[in-house]
Amino acid sequence: MRALVTGGAGFLGSHLCEYLLAKGMKVVCMDNLLTGDISNIAHIHHENFLFINHDVTNYIYLDGELDFILHFASPASPIDYLELPIQTLKVGSLGTHKALGLAKEKNAVFLLASTSEVYGDPLIHPQKEDYWGNVNPIGPRGVYDEAKRFAEAITMAYHRFHGVETRIVRIFNTFGPRMRLHDGRVVPTMLRQAIMGEPLTIFGDGSQTRSFCYVSDLVEGIYRLLTSNHSDPVNIGNPREMSILQFAEKIKAITGTSSEIVFEPLPVDDPKVRQPDISKAKTLLGWEPVVPMEEGLKKTFEWMAQRIKHLSQSAS
């Protein structure tokens, strides 16, 4: 079996590459390193692993047979997609089109990394796959949300019109080692602040909720979906919901930091709640998360502390 992972040098993509290699697959990792880092895959010395530096918004040529395409290329953190709005729209639209074209040519199963952001600021809680969402198309976050909504639409069009085998995973907030220290997402930001002894930043009053999934659980769910026969979207995430304020308290307890909590203005269109309904994943894939949040946070904390130490040693 041979798989292509676009965005394979990113946080999730690099974990997926390792997982698929461990399953005995040959893995081609394609990435233009826009928001990813070669250090995420530099340790993979495996004869079945190949890295190709390529922007997937351009025509994708790949020699040989291909069984699976996992399309993960896209800026994913709010800081990234607000700084890279056109690239975000292009990779969600043109990049998905190119990746689907390759899936059609190679007769490969295509899996799209979609997102809970397709639900926008949801009016239904928790979010089920049949909810169509509440997205502001012209707000600053629209570049990401609408790119992913388009990506889902073109994926279904290739499935219905060209008969391509497709899967759509709606990923909810996931965390773990290899997240960038400054990518602006809640988990790496608060862990970094705790490690550096800086105040923990909360946007708004902290009553907005999020549900965080550890990366190994997510990767397992994605693999089960990939190897299933379900073409409709499936939520993968951890339904354990908490307010950002509660989350900050948890970070304080786990890291033992004495950092205080500071409050800053809420960004435009920030979702007020976020929690996956995972009944579909449970029934169709027999999947549910197994890693307790505290355990995942400890692992990520240890990794980040090492990373910060390494960076400060190489700077001095």
The residues that are catalytic are 144
Question: Interface with ligand NAD includes 5 (CB under 6 A)?
Answer: no
Q: Does the footprint of ligand NAD cover residue 60 (CB under 6 A)?
A: no
Task: Select 9 or 281, whichever has its Cβ closest to ligand NAD.
Answer: 9
Tell me the C-alpha distance between 215 and 60, whole Å: 28
Whole-number minimum distance, CB 169 to ligand NAD, in Å? 8
Which residue lies nearer to ligand NAD by CB, 206 or 217? Answer: 217
Instruction: Tell me which of 17, 29, 41, 74 binds ligand NAD, using CB under 6 A.
Output: 74
CA distance 77 to 42: 22
Closest separation in Å from C-beta 316 to ligand NAD: 27
Q: Which is nearer to ligand NAD, 35 or 259 (CB)?
A: 35
- CA neighbor of 177 nearest in space, from 222, 216, 144: 216
Of the candidates 120, 117, 89, 224, the residue with the CA atom closest to the CA atom of residue 174: 117
| Nearest-approach distance from CB 230 to ligand NAD, in angstroms | 18
The CB-of-256 to ligand NAD minimum distance in angstroms stands at 26
Q: Which amino acid is located at 113 in the chain?
A: A
Minimum CB distance to ligand NAD, residue 24 (Å): 23
- Residue 110 φ then ψ, to 5°: -110, 125
Residue 151, CB half-sphere, CA atoms under 13 Å: how many? 36
Q: Is 95 in the site for ligand NAD (CB under 6 A)?
A: yes
Is 50 a residue that touches ligand NAD (CB under 6 A)?
A: no
Longest distance between any two alpha carbons in the chain, whole Å: 57
Smaller CB separation from ligand NAD, 74 or 257: 74
Asked whether position 56 contacts ligand NAD by CB under 6 A, the answer is yes
d(CA 236, CA 227) in angstroms, rounded, equals 15
| Residue 99: CA count within 13 A, CB half-sphere | 38
Give the nearest distance from C-beta 227 to ligand NAD in angstroms.
19
Length of the chain: 316
Instruction: Determine which residue in the list 108, 113, 186, 285 makes contact with ligand NAD, applying CB under 6 A.
Output: 113
* Binding residue (CB under 6 A) for ligand NAD from 2, 4, 11, 200: 11
Query: Helix (H, G, I), strand (E, B), or coil: what is residue 145?
Result: helix
Asked whether 220 and 289 are in contact (CB, 8 A), the reply is: no
Q: How many CA atoms lie within 13 A of 259 on its CB side?
A: 27
User: Residue for token digits 């997926």?
Assistant: 16
CA distance 29 to 7: 7
Residue 248 touching ligand NAD (CB under 6 A): no
Binding of residue 115 to ligand NAD (CB under 6 A): yes
Total chain residues near ligand NAD (CB under 6 A): 28
Establish if 38 lies at the interface with ligand NAD (CB under 6 A).
Answer: no
Q: Which residues pair with 258 in a beta bridge?
A: none
Residue from 41, 57, 222, 296 touching ligand NAD (CB under 6 A): that is 57
Residue 49 CA to residue 106 CA, distance in Å, equals 19
Part in contact with ligand NAD (CB under 6 A); list of ranges 20-28, 171-179, 223-231, 282-290: 171-179
By the criterion CB under 6 A, which residues form the site for ligand NAD?
A: 6-7, 9-13, 31-36, 55-57, 72-76, 91, 95, 113, 115, 171, 173-174
